[in-house]
Amino acid sequence: MGFDKALVKVYDSYGLLKITERLQQLFAEVWLLTDTKQKFPAAFSHLKIVDDLYPNQGPLGGLVTALTEVNTSSIFLMACDMPQFTMEMIQQLARYRHENQVVLFKQQGRLEPLFAFYQITCQAAFKAQLFHSDWRLRSVFPQLSVREIAFSHNRQLANVNYQKELALWYSACREGEDHFGFL
């Protein structure tokens, strides 16, 4: 889109702050993984912001960083530009997080690795993947216990990647609709 999606403002508030507020309803800790902590303005100061230990290696680097830093048996990883989610979606995945190393949705034949639970036991496999110049998370999945759940919700789980999608995000908020997970 030509700008940092983590700092997108929806009306008078940062979209990412609205997402973290919703996540805090389910999780005791919500972290932001980033390439540069300093880019976040004071409005984010109440959140734990962690510098990526593997910058420029995409979400794989962020995932390995999270699995390295966390003190829990599993984490929920979510991209910063996925405002169209519900708590029920996360809870549906959470039901299986103890029996599987990775739990994620499969939507229209595609896996959604940036909206998923990962057990700490995945760390070694993902860390090894960093050195293969293939930073796709799904490349490691054949080595792990992965639970794919058919996505059956009435909305699409998608990233905001284009200006057109950003306009819909604003429109949904203005109209008071809950289509994009903010209201």
Please report, for the domain that includes residue 99, its CATH number.
3.90.550.10
Beta 110-119 vs 48-51: how paired, if at all? unpaired
Which of 12-26, 57-71, 134-148 is predicted least confidently? Answer: 12-26
Q: Is residue 181 domain-resident?
A: no
Bridge partner list, 105: 149
Q: Is residue 22 domain-resident?
A: yes
C-alpha 80: how far from chain center: 6
Q: Is residue 180 domain-resident?
A: no
Write the burial class of residue 38 (CB in 10 Å: 0-12 exposed, 13-18 middle, 19+ buried).
exposed
Q: Is residue 183 domain-resident?
A: no
- Total domains, the chain: 1
Reported pTM: 0.88
Distance CA 170, CA 119 (A): 35
Give tens-digit pLDDT for 125-169.
999 999 888 889 999 999 999 999 998 766 667 777 777 777 656
What does the pLDDT read at residue 108?
85
Distance CA 95, CA 143 (A): 22
Give tens-digit pLDDT for 40-52.
999 999 999 999 9
Distance CA 20, CA 155 (A): 20
Write the burial class of residue 77 (CB in 10 Å: 0-12 exposed, 13-18 middle, 19+ buried).
buried
111-128 average pLDDT score: 96
What does the pLDDT read at residue 171?
56
Q: Is residue 160 domain-resident?
A: yes
Q: Is residue 91 domain-resident?
A: yes
Distance CA 137, CA 139 (A): 5
94-115 average pLDDT score: 95
What does the pLDDT read at residue 178?
46
Distance CA 183, CA 173 (A): 7
Assign 180 a pLDDT band (cuts: 50, 70, 90).
very low
Domain that holds residue 88: 5-174
Q: Is residue 179 domain-resident?
A: no
Distance CA 115, CA 130 (A): 20
96-116 average pLDDT score: 94
